[in-house]
Amino acid sequence: MVLPKYCSYRSQRTNCIYPPNYVLSVQDNNDDEYMIGAVCDLHKDAMKFRIETLQQTSAIPQGKIRFDPIVILGTDCIKRMDQEYEDIRLDGSTL
């Protein structure tokens, strides 16, 4: 999943400059889950309050507000060299 580089919080036309730590979502009573944004530690409580307010006005579905920690996974890139490639025949033997 591609996430934004910065926290989704915005106040008085100013965007947060910190990277997100949590994926913010709402899980409704039918077990459907809706991703709302990505939030940093600093704005976690403010976003929870904002979502609760929007749920009261039915702008966002009622349900459990979830903050799932973002885990960054990295892998080593595997580069195949043409000299190392072996053709394999259908009978399992190599060329």
Q: Domains of the chain: which residue ranges? A: 10-84
- 59 and 52 Cβ atoms separated by less than 8 Å: no
pLDDT in tens, 85-95: 555 555 555 55
Identify any residues that bridge with 26 across adjacent strands, giving them in sequence order. Answer: 34, 65
- 94 and 88 Cβ atoms separated by less than 8 Å: yes
Q: Starting from the edge strand earliest in sequence, which strands make up the sheet with 22-27, in order?
A: 33-39, 22-27, 64-69
pLDDT in tens, 47-73: 999 999 988 998 888 889 999 998 877
pLDDT in tens, 7-27: 988 888 889 899 999 999 998
The model scores a pTM over 0.85: no
Cβ count near 61 (within 10 Å): 15
